[in-house]
């Protein structure tokens, strides 16, 4: 099993990165928090890897911190939660915030995550509340900021939100209402958009 990869970022997107390790390109699925913390293409990075083996495929999920990887694996222990949903949960909620919502039994916060209905939120709380309470979530995942032109940022954020399960009409309305200055970080725009979508 692959547990750790160190290599050059050959390509990256909001939900995946291709990591060149000794001339071999590994396609790794990632949450937003990891995307924001990756160096530019051509930069070197290390990812903590969860290897998901299925009958017809082997999928890699990567994280910039061991804590986030551990939390991802904890989510997978919940009935009905697969790797894609676990990644989407972490894309919408930092580890510290997610841990807090689980310990507090905050169904409303968990239900605001695309793909999580009330029943799934209740199941997450039921199965993870006690486990999470015993963990030491020292700090939330670091976030980097990369500046890009406003037009490019809008397209990237729109694509990322649609991939997370938001409807295109919803996304366009929110982005049209946001003022995106040149040089704004994608992280900043995405946070603002998510805040509006979760109202």
Residue range 12-32, pLDDT digits in tens = 988 999 999 999 999 999 998
Cα torsion at 20, 21, 23, 29 (round to 10°)? -40
How many Cα atoms occupy the beta-carbon half-sphere of 149 within 13 Å? Answer: 2
Chain segment 128-171, per-residue pLDDT in tens = 988 887 775 533 333 333 334 455 667 778 877 887 778 888 88
User: Residue 183 — very low, low, confident or very high, per pLDDT cuts 50/70/90?
Assistant: low
Q: Judge contact between 127 and 56, C-beta under 8 A.
A: no
Cα torsion at 152, 155, 160, 165 (round to 10°)? 170
Is this prediction's pTM over 0.75?
A: no
Phi, psi of 121 (to 5 degrees): -60, -45
Q: How wide is the angle at C-alpha 93 spanned by C-alphas 128 and 171, nearest 5°?
A: 135
Average pLDDT of span 69-94: 91
């Amino acid at each position: 099993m692959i547990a750790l990869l160190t290599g050059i970022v050959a390509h990256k997107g909001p939900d995946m990165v291709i990591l060149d390790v000794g001339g071999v390109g590994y396609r790794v699925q990632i949450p937003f928090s990891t995307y924001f913390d990756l160096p530019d293409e051509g930069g070197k990075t290390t990812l903590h890897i969860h290897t998901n083996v299925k009958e017809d495929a082997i999928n890699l999920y990567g994280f910039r911190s061991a804590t986030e990887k551990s939390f991802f694996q904890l989510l997978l222990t919940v009935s009905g939660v697969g790797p894609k949903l676990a990644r989407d949960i972490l894309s919408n909620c930092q580890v510290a915030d997610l841990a807090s919502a689980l310990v507090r039994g905050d169904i409303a916060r968990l239900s605001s995550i695309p793909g999580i209905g009330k029943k799934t939120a209740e199941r997450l709380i039921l199965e993870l509340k006690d486990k999470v309470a015993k963990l030491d979530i020292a700090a939330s995942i670091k976030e980097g900021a990369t500046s890009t032109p406003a037009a490019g940022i809008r397209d990237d954020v729109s694509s990322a939100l649609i991939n997370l399960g938001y409807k295109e009409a919803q996304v366009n309305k929110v982005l049209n209402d946001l003022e995106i200055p040149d040089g704004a970080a994608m992280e900043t725009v995405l946070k603002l958009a998510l805040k509006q979508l979760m109202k």
